[in-house]
Structure 1
Amino acid sequence: MKQAFILRGLPGSGKSHYAFSLAEELVGGDETRYVICSTDDYFLQTDGSYQFDKTKLSEFHNLNLARFINSLAEGIELVIVDNTNIRRWEYVAYSAAAHAMGYQVKEVVVGEVKDKSLQHLYQKRNIHHVALRTISNMARQFEW
């Protein structure tokens, strides 16, 4: 059965860890059987450092969606979207594409969104240095 997972959650909530754990559990970590699509990948530099550029965000989200759709078209067994997906419009195209290509689609909220103490933890452990104020704003905007 072909499956697509749309991960949602605040920066630092554990989405990337969850994505790799899911791949390990469902396909034994066999890299020929899964793809994790993360817009963050496009901000990685050749030296492996992460350089966020807000002006590139829209372009990189479109590239990530294209990678997701290409993975579906290739028939990859497990395709995972590892983005914050705070608002519905941010992930609806992923869901529609996966449904159209016959995938079972599951939306997973990783972590607790509204818990202020966890927002502090997420700020400390997110690898992209997203500020607590930004994380709190994202939590307020989160659409269920």
Structure 2
Amino acid sequence: MKQVFILRGLPGSGKTNYAHNLADDLVAGDSSQYVICSTDDYFVGAEGYQFDKHKLPEYHNLNLARFIKALSEGIPLVIADNTNIKKWEFIAYIEAAHALGYQVKEVIVGEIKDKAMQHLYAQRNTHNVALRTIAKMAYQFEW
């Protein structure tokens, strides 16, 4: 069975760890059997992670293209690892997956509304997303 998982959650909630653990559980970490598509990957260069908000639309489009390519190649497990706060942000992923015969599961990682967890996420996220931004994202989260 071909599967897609759409991960959703605040920065620092553990989406990337969840994605890798899921791949380990479902395909024993066999890298030929899965692809994790994260827009964050495009911000990593020789100097490490360098976020540039002006590049975000371009990188989201590149990530969607990588996702669709993995689907078209028939990769058994494809995971979209982005915050996906608003539903419009991941609807194209769902539509592409359904069009190519994949079963889709949406997974919310972490606690969205819990203020204590938001503080934890602000401390542990690797992209220096401030608590104020995380709280705003939690407020805007669409269920």
2:13 matched residue in structure 1: 13
1:81, CA displacement in angstroms? 0.3
- Per the TM alignment, residue 106 of structure 1 is displaced from its structure 2 partner at its CA by 0.2
Q: Distance between the aligned counterparts of 1:18 and 1:86, measured in 2?
A: 17
Which position in structure 1 is the counterpart of 2:57?
58
Q: CA deviation at 1:18?
A: 0.1
Aligned mates of 1:116, 1:25 — CA distance in 2? 30
* Shift in Å, 1:46: 2.3
* 2:88 alignment counterpart: 89
Q: Which residue of 1 aligns with 2:128?
A: 129
1:75 partner amino acid:
G
* 1:100 paired to 2:99: yes
Report the residue type matching 2:127 in the other structure.
H
Task: Output the amino acid matched with 1:17.
Answer: N
| Pairing of 1:31-50 with structure 2 (within 5 A) | 31-47=31-47, 49-50=48-49
Amino acid at match of 2:40: D
Runs of 4+ residues deviating >4 angstroms: none
User: Given residue 37 of structure 2, which amino acid in structure 1 is its aligned partner?
Assistant: C
TM-score by length of 1: 0.99
Shift of 1:90: 0.3
Unaligned stretches of 5+ residues in structure 2: none
User: 1:72-123: CA deviations, max 9, x gaps?
Assistant: 0000000000000000000000000001100000000000000000000000
Unaligned runs of 5+ in 1: none
**SS of alignment partner, residue 7 of structure 1:** strand
Counterpart Cα distance in 2 of 1:7 and 1:94: 11
Q: Is 2:138 the counterpart of 1:139?
A: yes
- Measured in 1, the distance between the counterparts of 2:49 and 2:76 equals 29
AA of the residue aligned to 1:128: H
SS of the residue 1:79 aligns to: strand
Q: Distance in 2 between matches of 1:59 and 1:33?
A: 27
